Structures are given as C-alpha cells and as structure tokens.
Homo-oligomer: A and B are copies of this chain.
C-alpha cells in the first residue's frame, strides 16, 4: 500500500533526494567508495559542501555580507549559540510555541530577556501582534513556524533591532527577505535533509560584538572562516541537502514551492472547515501552510481513535497531533505531493460519510 508521509519531522523528502542518497551510500561520485566512508577533505566531498552552500545563497537570494554554514548539533544548539554570539545585555523574544519557549530559556543564561508578547495562555493558537520591540534590545528572536501548534509568520517583520529567526520548519517554503535578518537558522529535517545538520545564514558584521569568550565550536566565525569544514561536517546530511536544493532549483525555486504549498494547505483547510467532524485549532489568519493542526468537533470527540485507525488503514502515516494539542496534524512540507493531501481529504470525506 502507498504510504502518505505526514510526519512533522524528520519528514518527507523528495524521491530525488532519497534515490540519489541511496546510490551515493553504495558508490559516491564514482569514487568506488561509499558516501559513508569518504574523507570530508576529499575533492569530491569538498565540491558537495561548496555547492550546498552556494545553492542556499542562490535559492534564498542571500545578499553579499552573509555567509551560509552547515552545522551539527541540531537547531536546539542554536538556542544557546545565538545568545552566545549576539547577546550583550538584553534580547527580545516572541513566544509563539514550544521551540520559542526553549530558545528563551537558553537566552536567559546569557542576559536579560524581554518576552515582548506571548500566546501561551491561548495554547499558542495565534501569533501575537501589535507588540513593541524595545529599541535597546541586542536582537529580536522569532520562530517563523510553530510545528507543534500549526501557526506561522509568513512574512518578514519590520523591526528596528537586528532580527533573528528560527526557520527550522518553513525555510524554503517561500521567498524571504534575508536582508532583514542578522541570523536565520534551521534544523534541516523538514524541508531540506535528514536529521543531523542545521544551516545558518549569518550577517558577518553582526558577529564579534560580544565580550564574552565563546567556545570555538559555538562561535559562528569558526565555521564561516573554515567554510563549514572546521571540524568533520555531517557529510551524508549535507549531501542529501544538496540533492534537495538541486531539486528545488530544477522545480523553479522557492516562489514555485510557495505556490504549491499554498495550494496544498488551502485544499486541506477548506476540507477541515467544511467537514462536520473536524475543526482547525488555529485562528485562520495565522494558519501554517507547513503543519495543519485539527481536532474532532466536540460532538464527535469519541471518534478520534477510530479516525486515527481508519486513516492509518488508508496509508496515512504520522498524522497524530502533538500531545500538547491533541487531535491530528498533517505536515505538508515542500516534498509532500498534492496527491497525498488529496488522499487525506478523501479519507476525511469517506469517514464523514460513514458517520
């Protein structure tokens, strides 16, 4: 049976990425050796890293003065790297979900943190608006997409202080104005690669302004200076990222991906709004096009487990909602084909008919 992969992350990747990676595990770039066992200093892997950095710049139209680095350790490590590198006295954070909460916790180890707004009391069902970012903040940190709660800031905010964004779960889903940001970081395991690598897009002149000593591995300058090869990079995840980036370029870039994403999300949200059994959990204007969260309507609550099993029997994988929201979550990352979204919709309609 065809499986439809709605996992929130690690999550669906293109068949182009999967096939090329499997091939390279057996024979990498005609070397007669596996991608798993080739030196990162080999000319074949150096070429992978160079192209993987260049394609991020090309696809996101990264301006001069920025560098792209591939790092190990996961986006969670960025939660402390950002303040380590940028926080002098005070940082401002927007609290929009679990990952924002975690980022705030780490920043507090390095200085004062001003949480300018939060939707915590409403279980993060919306993105706060109308907040004021203090002029004296060293930076303002946002989480553009909140995987667990299904909210998204699908715009680049205008603020007067340096902007930092965790774009782990929506990078490459739309064009972004990189020039508005000092640092963008993203764990790769949604729209880019398997787990194990994080990319950061860093404005070079944002660095070197704090007085504290920064451990070498946690200093962005270390990795910029060495082209992401200061230490052994996670070679296979970087190789897989390159395949995805090539695939995105071939498709026509992030504008094309955005159009596809908007279409996929629209048909699913339309079905959620129409179907008498279900309702969305997020205010309509902040709905994520990456993670679609929905629950059974109150009068059908007892059908939740039955629908989960029914969807599973139709090949749907990974649609259980996070325990802090409950219900269901369908993650519609870039690699998700519209046909899988249509299959989920058909499943919801068939289940509705049966009840």
Contact = CB atoms under 8 A, between A and B. Distances in A.
A58 B109 CA distance: 38
Contacts of A40: 10, 195
Interface in A261-285: none
B76 A73 contact: no
Nearest to A218: B80
A317 B31 CA distance: 10
Given A74-B232, A196-B72, A79 B216 contact: yes
A313 interface: no
Interface in A6-39: 7-13, 17-19, 21-22, 25-26, 31-39
B22 A237 contact: no
B317 A33 contact: yes
A106 interface: yes
Contact of A73 (B17, B109, B217, B235): B217
A105 interface: yes
A interface, by DSSP: helix, strand, loop or mixed?
A: loop
Interface string A308-324: 00000000011000000
Interface string A215-238: 111100000000000111111110
A233 B33 contact: no
A211 B11 CA distance: 39
Interface centre among A71, A76, A77, A195 (most CB of B within 10 A): A195
How many subunits of this chain does the assembly comprise? Answer: 2
Given A216-B76, A217-B76, A217-B77, A194 B31 contact: no
Contacts of A77: 72-73, 217
Given A10-B37, A80-B215, A237 B18 contact: no
Contacts of A12: 37
Interface in A33-64: 33-40, 42
A247 to B, nearest CB: 13
Given A10-B38, A39-B8, A237 B234 contact: yes
Nearest to A78: B217
A226 B305 CA distance: 27
A122 interface: no
B109 A9 contact: no
A236 B26 CA distance: 15
A52 to B, nearest CB: 14
Contacts of A72: 72-74, 77, 196, 234
A31 B5 CA distance: 10
A37 B7 CA distance: 8
Nearest to A222: B76
A197 interface: yes
Contacts of A39: 7-11, 318
A292 interface: no
Given A5-B37, A21-B25, 13 more contacts: A3-B33, A10-B39, A13-B37, A22-B22, A36-B240, A37-B335, A72-B72, A72-B74, A72-B234, A73-B217, A195-B234, A195-B236, A234-B234
Counting from the closest, the 8 A-B pairs by CB-CB distance are A196-B234, A73-B73, A80-B215, A36-B194, A76-B231, A22-B25, A3-B32, A7-B39
22 contacts: A3-B31, A5-B33, A9-B39, A10-B232, A11-B39, A17-B36, A18-B26, A33-B317, A72-B72, A72-B77, A73-B74, A74-B217, A74-B232, A76-B230, A77-B217, A80-B215, A106-B217, A194-B235, A195-B232, A196-B196, A196-B233, A236-B236
